[in-house]
């Protein structure tokens, strides 16, 4: 039996867990990571909205674009929307990536505090 295509909400919920690793790496850096924190916050907002609204898979790209158009900070939101879209596409194409996400996106960097 063929596996059905995942929904954006499912993948985005798993991508939220993967953001924890990014936060762990960001906190360990010795440089000013304010721009990283801003980008990750925007990405988190997009992912949380996708989980809440659960757009149809075939409309996910358009849904992300609509989110970009609704904000004054369209440039940063567009950059993070492109990142979310790339990860969505990777999840559709890569069983290994989907498995990693489904297992909680394990990383040595997740949850580290300095």
- Residue 27's SS3 state is helix
Q: Is the pLDDT of residue 110 over 60?
A: no
46 near 64, Cβ under 8 Å?
Answer: yes
Kindly report, residue by residue over 78-96, the tens digit of the pLDDT. 999 999 999 999 999 999 9
Q: Bigger pLDDT: 38 or 86?
A: 86
* pLDDT score recorded for residue 97: 94
* pLDDT score recorded for residue 109: 56
- The whole model's pTM is what? 0.81
Q: Delimit the domains of the chain by residue range.
A: 8-102
CA torsion angle for 40, 53, 16, 69 (degrees, to 10)? -20
């Amino acid at each position: 039996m063929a596996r059905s295509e995942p929904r954006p909400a499912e993948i985005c919920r798993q991508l939220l867990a993967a953001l924890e690793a990014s936060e762990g790496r960001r906190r360990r850096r010795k440089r000013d990571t304010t721009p990283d924190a801003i980008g990750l916050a925007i990405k988190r907002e997009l992912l949380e909205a996708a989980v809440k609204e659960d757009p149809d898979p075939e409309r996910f790209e358009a849904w992300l674009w609509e989110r970009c158009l609704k904000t004054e900070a369209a440039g940063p939101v567009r950059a993070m929307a492109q990142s979310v879209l790339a990860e969505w596409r990777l999840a559709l194409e890569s069983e290994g990536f989907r498995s990693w996400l489904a297992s909680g996106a394990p990383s040595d960097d997740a949850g580290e505090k300095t």
